[in-house]
Structure 1
Amino acid sequence: MKQKLLLIAFVFAAFTSNLRAQNVIAWKQAASGGYTYKYVTGDPTHSRFYKLKNGLTAILSPTNKQPRIQCYIVVKAGSNTDPANHTGLAHYLEHLMFKGTDKFGTTNYAKEKPYLDKIDALYEQYNSTKDEAKRKEIYKEIDKTSGEAAKISIANEYDKMMASMGGQNSNASTSFERTAYTEDIPSSSVDKFLTLQAERFRNPILRIFHTELEAVYEEKNRTLDDDNRKVFEQMFSALFPNNNYGKQTTIGTIEHLKNPSLKAIRNYYYTYYVPNNMAIVLSGDFNPDVMIKKVDTHFSYMKPKPIPPYTFDPEKPITSPIKREVYGPNPENLTIAFRFPGAATRDARLLDLMGSILTNGKAGLFDLDLVKKQKMLSASAGDYTLKDYSVLLLRGTPIKGQSLDEVRDLMLGEISKLRKGEFSEDLITSIVNNTKKEKIVDDESYVNRADNLMNDFVTNVDWRTDVATVNELSKITKAQIVDFANKYLNDNDYVIVYKHQGEDKNITKVEKPPITPVDVNAGAQSDFLKKVNAMPATAMKPVFIDYQKDIQRAKSGNAELLSVQNKDNSIFRLYYRYDMGSWNNKLLPVAAQYIQYLGTKTRSAEDFSKAFYKLASSFNISAGTEISTVSFNGLQENFAATVKLYEDLLANCQPDEQALAGLKARLKKARENAKLNKTALAQALVSYAQYGPSNPFNYTLSDEELDNLKAQDLVDILHKLNSYKHIVLYYGPKTAQQEALDLTKLHKIPAAFIPYPEKQNFVKQNADHNRVLFANYDMVQAEIYWIRNEGPYSPEQTPRVDLFNNYFGGGMSTVVFQQIRESKALAYSTYAFYVSPAKKEDQNYFIGYIGTQADKLNESIKSMNELLTDLPQSDKSLIDAKENMRKSIETDRITQDGILFNYLEAQRLGLNYDARKTTFNNLDKMNFETVKQFHDQQLKGKPFTYCIVASDKRISDDDLKKYGELIKPDLKQLFGY
């Protein structure tokens, strides 16, 4: 008996020891498929970390939720490693990595090479020449030689290959410490993708350079109009005088942009684009044993070499506030920044937690003390982590009549509370619960997984710490946070940037050089492209939504409930959807904002915020023009408590005149600020162009109506909200019947709904002549929109619309992008779409866009108008557009609550089927003539309204009048107040 008990004790001890071992989050090593890899125990993403023989890192995170793969090829080289005399170089190279090699991007490299060598030499001569007259002569020769070279090159062949294999979101980005190339591909195209990428990084050829350089100039000029970018640069220059974070900008100086060196760019590539300085990150639908062999086979040609270390002198402590000032047309605001250690340190993780204590959207110190009490228009705090250092950023926008110094004092006052420990320890528990929920949601997305893995690789963050985040946070005490705050957040050790509204007298834009449009050879194909296209790809069948089978239905009281079951985890999302919005009642959007400042007789507004956050749940009321939605999300275990909490607030909220006074002040300031925002100005012009002087954009409360607003009026709207007809949407672990049973007990609605208030309707106006709507804004750029209202919606037209957009102006391989950016270098950003309406009664419309320098306005308008008049033909581009559509539809999986919203969108259009099916079934029936007929019927020779936001100091009325009747609405006409 004693031996038996000993045996039982031994087995129990072994069992509990094994349980403890399973709960330990640690690095382990394993081998499979002939390769050794590392992994983290307990990692829900099942990510594998490989180091290949040549030093290349491969990070693979398999998930079969969708038949697609998010791909990053990332190089640990960014603006921090730019040579001091060639800033912006890493960013230049990023652009040029899309131009091809000696095998693609050209029709005959041997014939092209002498021209490229000559261009190289001319740029070196150009850079070393100071005499402006001589520089202009050299540039003429560069332009001429580039034109000859372009006759042999093939612009955008990389983009065409990615489009033909079903790639989406093809792009790249450069930051301080890395350059990342990103693609989202069908899993069936992985062999084509790896073949292309291996070739792309083998021997990039720096062709079509001077037009791409002009695109970078445009990007630089856009930053000169970006007040937030200017604040960021001033803040970093003050925080990091010894580190290239502050000494250099990613896009570079104007002087260096004007004097590029292809030789320096090439040297940079050979120095940093080596396997031991790179990673391939793949997340999606694949077998990792098969994938790692493919990656190794394609990239084993790369040879490692030593990487020059980036060194810098450590930053000295800040002993007194460092003040900077920025001027620009946007509204004033204030930024305060504290310096912290780098991303891989424990202090950086504590910083993230501390940022959540200050701002988490619900119950942080800033949330409750500054936003909820409406002491400022906006206030936020958050961490910005980099490899060498991290930053705590405090951002604040004043209410009307408030000085920036008052904003400073309010934000620093909350920092003082943090240092004194004037916050509840429960807040840390709430943050842990919310982090747990957020990680579940994050890990569901193959795109987010890849992004997180890539960022950790760049900043040297241990993936184990990411996996262990919730465990680690749950052990941190309030005392530790207070000690941490007192260590780093002293009274004088910060940088403060005052952003004033006013003219920036220091702007020097990059001047437009004379550029002769170059050939793009849209119909040409390299042998390499033909080889890639000929590679076999596994055929995939599209999966379309069956609205009868894929959606569960039930009744919750008098409301219809539509549901999709979540069989993967404990997350729920719930929606109450009303066919009612601001067109029914202009007060509804105000009431939707007002509720966050209200309490009941037993709970304050702050109590509700804390309670929702403690449950790791949230709610939001969104009032659109015709549809309003109450949305919830959280963990199913807290579903009942979440809904009950909201229903209590909605039914029992009390009018609060002080809260309304604060809201009115905030709304007035926000309305003033909107008039200083170029994006809002553009939206106002576009709405005016579509609907006329009275339009949805300016259908809002007048100043007088806002002043006369009563608290009881808003509360009455909220109290009646459940009485209006609405449907319930649920995505979560329960079935529709189970959910309906639970919700009926919680969501109280009447036996018969009350009718919606009468709706104001707006009808699009058809223009019979060209017009120009102009809004003055102090900036370097000009924002140009082409607007034309078209005919009524027809579902039979959808396939043609989809193909037209994919061929004409919906991406980097389209006609608009190739002609306006690649050939003529007129813009950094340009697009053109034919847009179908959201409901069957509405009209289609066309929108085109070019963001360019003001001195290129006439040339830009001329170029877009040429494309609207005559559609260039490229049979190869059309084939690529069709293949992209085919493979995108084959691999697109609408899942979760996306199924419910897709169904509702179809309903509004009068459809009872998945519209993608019609497009897919019609692809083979459409050809270039289909696209041309559509183009000619809808756009050719038709009147347009040009909406232009620019500085009247840079563009004359005479220029504008050339394009149509000139109308300059004043701000009150545009905004309605």
Structure 2
Amino acid sequence: MRKFYSLVLLIIAVASSLTVSAQGLKGFKLKNGLSVYIWEDSTKNDVFGLVGVKVGTVNDPEDLTGLAHYLEHMMFKGTQSISSLNWEKEKPLYEQIITKYDEMANEPDPVKKEAISLEINKLTVEAAQYTAPNEFAGLTENMGGKMLNAMTGYDETMYFSSFPPSQLYKWLDLNSERFINPVFRAFQPELETVYEEFNRSQDMQGSLQQDFMLKHIFPGHPYSRSVLGLQEHLKNPRLGGLVDFYNNWYVPENMVLILVGNVKLKEAMGLINDRFGRLEAQKSPERKSYPEMEIKGRTEYSAKMGDFPTLRLAFKGVPTGHTDELALTICVNMLSNRNRTGLLDKLSLSGDVLGADAGLINFKEQGRILILGIPYYDVNQRRFESIKSLEKMLLAEISKIQKGEFDEELFNSVKATLIRDFDLSFESSYNKAQKILSTFICNEDISNVLNYKEKVKTISIDQVKAIANKYFNKNYIALNYQPGKAPKAEKLSKPKYDPINPERGVISQYAEKFRKLPVRKVDPVYEKFDAVQVKKVNERSRLFYTQNKENAIFTLTLKYGVGTHEMPQLQYAVDLMNNAGIMGAYEPQALKQEFNALGAVCNFGVDDNYLYVSMSGYEENLEASCNLLTRQILMPKLDEKQLNNMIGSAYQMRAIEEKNENLLEGALHDYLLYQNKSEYLDRMPLEDIINLTISSLTGEFNRATDYEAEIHYVGSMPFNDVYDVLSKNLPLKATEKTSNSPVVKDRVQYKENTIYFVSDNDALQSKIYFYVEGNPFKVEDDVYYKAFNKYFGSGFGGLVMQEVREYRSMAYTADGGEITPPLANKNAYFEGYIGTQADKTIDAIDVFMNLLTEMPEYADRISGIKDYLREGLQTAKPDFRSRSQVYEAWKRLGYTEDPAKTQLPKIQNLSFEDVVKFYQQNVKGRPVAIGIIGDPKRINLDELSKYGKVIRINKNKLFSSK
């Protein structure tokens, strides 16, 4: 009690200055130096918990780059208590492994190195007999934890998850225990997993472009290299170095605990002190400092990488927390912003360039301003305009800010948008936690977060002009990217390691005690469908109203009941509508600015089933905003240059799609499911796109608005007032067409196992998809779908992640599970994925196919599955912004009330036999289709035939040729 009372006094002393303006935020320190922030928000269903550490890539030893990222992975491996079955027997093996890694790192002979690595493998396999892998993840998920993850940045590392409020003590116990005597077990297999992450990055042109950029704009600083580390260091790790790194940097004074959401300060304070107070106080090392680079004049670097010619200009910026940061943020947003009202945005909207953007990189020590441009593509001459002329255009727009040649309304609207976006972001517990973490990492005053809106208001036009002249000078770096493929890292052969084979069905003593820890009993709270008010607007269209008790910002989604499945041209019509003005009234950017003046932003979107018109803004201007939107939809102003720019972009995308990794993966995935009905094959011919006209596209868009619509509104105005405004000021037809959406496309019905192989000689990784057609979905089976997915392929504890990644290190990404349809009685289907080093392809498929054909049965896992499903129901509630759309999705599946009401009793009665029965009825014995993109020189294609009929497909067969 005395300790608790002392802590209260400490909190009052530290946090009293925050109380008035913090809206539930309290901050304090424990005696060991750990910083703690608690942000109470009783409107949330869950708590978001985060532990942050002031350490990242910047702190990597220069001969062991990637160490901070390694460590983030290893922090999931447990401690001398978590995941430990017999530490006394494991410890000597663990110590031998550490010694062997040091020995291997110092051995220059490659043959001897490999011999040592095989010795390490034997020790690792033996040590695994005394461990319960993935216990930390399993315990987190079994108490209803979600979003479990971690992230390594340049200046920070964070570990986080969300959890039910009733599980506060358990979460605090587990997440403090992980930092007490951690054991970096299974280092060798996890290192292979990290290498798979590295391989994946090497197959992504965007990642290679970023690496090239950072190398040249932050020379001489660790910011210049990838968080993953250098390849030569990945190949030559030191486990002892990892232990030292942890002991030096992971100390309480270097750490912060952040809890945001449905948590009570009075309840949490004593528990935090009791659990996290166990961490031993210790001083952390001094962080090494690096000199800021000097940029003299214009310096250009060129590279062939990416799909389009692209120019990036990098100017010296400021680190996070710098006194100029806010004014510079406003300045950059006046160049480009998400409302597309900036000076660079005008170049895109008018069709002068294919794309233009501006942004900031703010690290703890240094910062850069980035200006990006993609030149205009002339579809008639089949060529891009020059990079030189593009650069002149970009610099000309920047000079307008320096000279004050801009409308004051742009300045005011950018500030208003920053304030509105700040309020919207604070509806998210995750965003709140990230804001707090940033202030801790960068040693900022928390008032910078709390007083952000007031600080924005104080910035003047003169300050912005001065900032523009200060930072946009003649000293900058120009990065000239031309189309091509960048050289990749060395292709390594798979190691000859035996997989670890720990005993299944056993748990540590810590896990036994953890399961018995007290949990505050909470009666279930169910969603009430009448929390959303519904009323017909026309014959078929309906308004769905949800009250917003958080702020004065409304969100409106008009969801017309037709999409590209029935109207393919909508894809291109929507592109143009996002750039449209109003005939006889507003040019495109002038209209964007008019919306901005009202505090509103509007966007158009489309998918297979629906046309979306989304708008958000301040309710005081709701009627004016809706009126402006309706005029734009009914009388859009477009010009030929915009049309030609859009056609040129489409032409270029068709030209590069076989070379683009993401598009190629998407095309194979779609082909696997739909074959000739794939969206990459069953689409508008290029000739038809080139012949599109403004009238045909505006006509197509207007025909889409003939369909019935769902109007989802979230705001604080009374329902009747909202109904009155929207029914009179939205573009709804008096007699609407009936919607057929959502449409569920028919998938291929395979009669035998079939493997499609697509050659990609440059790929370091193989991308492997699995597909099994299922049965009609019935709402009464929903719990069985969820239970099977949790057991088979969901999260760290699923069979797929354990067998493919944890035990055999074959992939960084691996998953599998049933995909349920948006409508009852339509077929569900199984889908799986593995991304693995090319020469591991056959082994990885072997493992996955064994899971599909003879699923291992571990009946002891059912209690954890039931806990996960039960606790998850209480936190998996829609937030107020998405509530009405989630309710409608539930109703389409056949629910007439909160699914939790019918699912909870089924979860209570769930048995492992139910999971096995579901597998037998929906997966086992069914034909499996497999799609592979990989390097044929590193894959034994003859071996693929053991899985079924092998069909090799050229890339061009995945895309329509016209």
2:831 to 847, 851, 860: 847
Label 1:35 to 1:42 Cα distance change in 2 as closer, same or farther (>3 A): closer
Give the Cα–Cα distance (whole angstroms) in 1 for the partners of residues 61 and 485 of structure 2.
32
The yes-or-no answer on 1:507 pairing with 2:489 is yes
Q: For 1:597, what is the secondary structure of its paired residue?
A: coil
Match of 2:531 in 1: 550
The yes-or-no answer on 1:295 pairing with 2:276 is no
Give the Cα–Cα distance (whole angstroms) in 1 for the partners of residues 726 and 905 of structure 2.
41
Label 1:761 to 1:279 Cα distance change in 2 as closer, same or farther (>3 A): closer
Label 1:67 to 1:740 Cα distance change in 2 as closer, same or farther (>3 A): closer
Q: For 2:578, what is the secondary structure of its paired residue?
A: helix
Give the Cα–Cα distance (whole angstroms) in 1 for the partners of residues 242 and 733 of structure 2.
70
The yes-or-no answer on 1:934 pairing with 2:911 is no
The yes-or-no answer on 1:73 pairing with 2:51 is yes
Count how many residue pairs are aligned between Structure 1 and Structure 2.
946
Give the gaps of 5 or more residues in structure 2.
1-6, 378-382
* Contact preservation (8 Å) 2:48, 2:261: yes
The yes-or-no answer on 1:335 pairing with 2:312 is yes
Label 1:39 to 1:922 Cα distance change in 2 as closer, same or farther (>3 A): farther
Match of 1:516 in 2: 498
Q: For 1:279, what is the secondary structure of its paired residue?
A: strand
* Contact preservation (8 Å) 1:242, 1:312: no
The yes-or-no answer on 1:161 pairing with 2:143 is no
Matches within 5 A, 1:362-377: 362-377=339-354
1:668 to 651, 660, 675: 651
Give the Cα–Cα distance (whole angstroms) in 2 for the partners of residues 938 and 869 of structure 1.
12
Match of 2:4 in 1: none
* Contact preservation (8 Å) 1:678, 1:949: no
The yes-or-no answer on 1:322 pairing with 2:299 is yes
Give the Cα–Cα distance (whole angstroms) in 1 for the partners of residues 11 and 461 of structure 2.
47
Label 1:511 to 1:315 Cα distance change in 2 as closer, same or farther (>3 A): farther
The yes-or-no answer on 1:627 pairing with 2:610 is yes
Deviations 1:77-128 (A, max 9, x none): 1111111111111111111111111112121100111111111111111111
Residue type at the aligned position of 1:741: D
Label 1:576 to 1:759 Cα distance change in 2 as closer, same or farther (>3 A): closer
Match of 2:590 in 1: 607
Residue type at the aligned position of 1:885: L
Deviations 1:189-221 (A, max 9, x none): 111111112221010011111111111111111
Match of 1:63 in 2: 41
Residue type at the aligned position of 2:753: N
Match of 1:966 in 2: 951
1:386 to 353, 363, 386: 363
2:757 to 765, 770, 774: 774
Question: Which has the higher mean CA deviation after the structures are superposed, 638-647 or 704-713?
Answer: 704-713
Shift of 1:134: 1.1
1:694 to 667, 671, 677: 677
Deviations 1:876-924 (A, max 9, x none): 4332122111101023332324221122212333443333433322112
Shift of 1:759: 11
Deviations 1:324-357 (A, max 9, x none): 3444465443322222221111112222212211
1:258 to 221, 235, 244: 235
Q: TM-score, normalised by structure 1?
A: 0.93
Give the Cα–Cα distance (whole angstroms) in 1 for the partners of residues 514 and 292 of structure 2.
50
2:438 to 445, 448, 455: 455
Deviations 1:477-529 (A, max 9, x none): 222212111111112x2223233332433522454222211023331111110
Residue type at the aligned position of 1:320: G
* Contact preservation (8 Å) 1:577, 1:726: yes
The yes-or-no answer on 1:471 pairing with 2:454 is yes
Residue type at the aligned position of 1:826: M
Matches within 5 A, 1:209-608: 209-246=187-224, 248-328=225-305, 330-400=307-377, 401-402=383-384, 403-491=386-474, 493-505=475-487, 507-547=489-529, 549-558=530-539, 559-599=541-581, 600-608=583-591
Give the gaps of 5 or more residues in structure 1.
1-28
Match of 1:739 in 2: 722
Question: Which has the higher mean CA deviation after the structures are superposed, 694-703 or 795-804?
Answer: 694-703
Q: For 1:377, what is the secondary structure of its paired residue?
A: strand
Question: Which has the higher mean CA deviation after the structures are superposed, 428-437 or 901-910?
Answer: 901-910
Matches within 5 A, 1:172-187: 172-187=150-165
Instruction: Provide the identity percentage.
Output: 28
Residue type at the aligned position of 1:528: Y
* Contact preservation (8 Å) 1:520, 1:822: no
Shift of 1:47: 1.5
- Superposition RMSD on alpha carbons, in Å? 2.3
Give the Cα–Cα distance (whole angstroms) in 2 for the partners of residues 961 and 870 of structure 1.
19
Shift of 1:833: 1.2
* Contact preservation (8 Å) 1:55, 1:275: yes
The yes-or-no answer on 1:907 pairing with 2:881 is no
Shift of 1:762: 3.7
Question: Which has the higher mean CA deviation after the structures are superposed, 436-445 or 168-177?
Answer: 436-445
Give the Cα–Cα distance (whole angstroms) in 1 for the partners of residues 330 and 163 of structure 2.
35
Question: Which has the higher mean CA deviation after the structures are superposed, 227-236 or 38-47?
Answer: 38-47
Q: For 1:672, what is the secondary structure of its paired residue?
A: helix
Label 1:367 to 1:34 Cα distance change in 2 as closer, same or farther (>3 A): closer
Match of 1:807 in 2: 791
Match of 1:3 in 2: none
Q: For 1:438, what is the secondary structure of its paired residue?
A: helix
Label 1:136 to 1:488 Cα distance change in 2 as closer, same or farther (>3 A): same
Give the Cα–Cα distance (whole angstroms) in 2 for the partners of residues 598 and 107 of structure 1.
65
Label 1:943 to 1:71 Cα distance change in 2 as closer, same or farther (>3 A): same
Residue type at the aligned position of 1:309: E
Residue type at the aligned position of 2:179: F
* Contact preservation (8 Å) 2:561, 2:707: no
Q: For 1:462, what is the secondary structure of its paired residue?
A: coil
Label 1:406 to 1:873 Cα distance change in 2 as closer, same or farther (>3 A): farther
Label 1:311 to 1:125 Cα distance change in 2 as closer, same or farther (>3 A): closer
1:649 to 626, 632, 638: 632
* Contact preservation (8 Å) 1:585, 1:757: no
Shift of 1:719: 3.8
Match of 1:47 in 2: 25
Give the Cα–Cα distance (whole angstroms) in 1 for the partners of residues 461 and 481 of structure 2.
34
Shift of 1:183: 1.4
Label 1:93 to 1:953 Cα distance change in 2 as closer, same or farther (>3 A): same
Q: For 2:536, what is the secondary structure of its paired residue?
A: strand
* Contact preservation (8 Å) 2:804, 2:847: yes
Shift of 1:733: 1.0
Q: For 2:426, what is the secondary structure of its paired residue?
A: helix
Question: Which has the higher mean CA deviation after the structures are superposed, 738-747 or 500-509?
Answer: 500-509
Give the Cα–Cα distance (whole angstroms) in 2 for the partners of residues 498 and 568 of structure 1.
46
Label 1:459 to 1:646 Cα distance change in 2 as closer, same or farther (>3 A): same
* Contact preservation (8 Å) 1:122, 1:142: yes
Give the Cα–Cα distance (whole angstroms) in 2 for the partners of residues 914 and 698 of structure 1.
40
The yes-or-no answer on 1:724 pairing with 2:675 is no
* Contact preservation (8 Å) 1:94, 1:174: yes
Q: For 1:649, what is the secondary structure of its paired residue?
A: helix
Q: For 2:317, what is the secondary structure of its paired residue?
A: strand
Match of 2:692 in 1: 709
Residue type at the aligned position of 1:427: L
Deviations 1:812-831 (A, max 9, x none): 11111111111001001110
Label 1:755 to 1:188 Cα distance change in 2 as closer, same or farther (>3 A): closer
Give the Cα–Cα distance (whole angstroms) in 1 for the partners of residues 886 and 879 of structure 2.
10
Match of 1:16 in 2: none
Q: TM-score, normalised by structure 2?
A: 0.94
Match of 2:380 in 1: none
Q: For 1:877, what is the secondary structure of its paired residue?
A: helix
Shift of 1:30: 9.5
Match of 2:3 in 1: none
Residue type at the aligned position of 2:97: I
Give the Cα–Cα distance (whole angstroms) in 2 for the partners of residues 42 and 509 of structure 1.
58
Shift of 1:321: 2.8
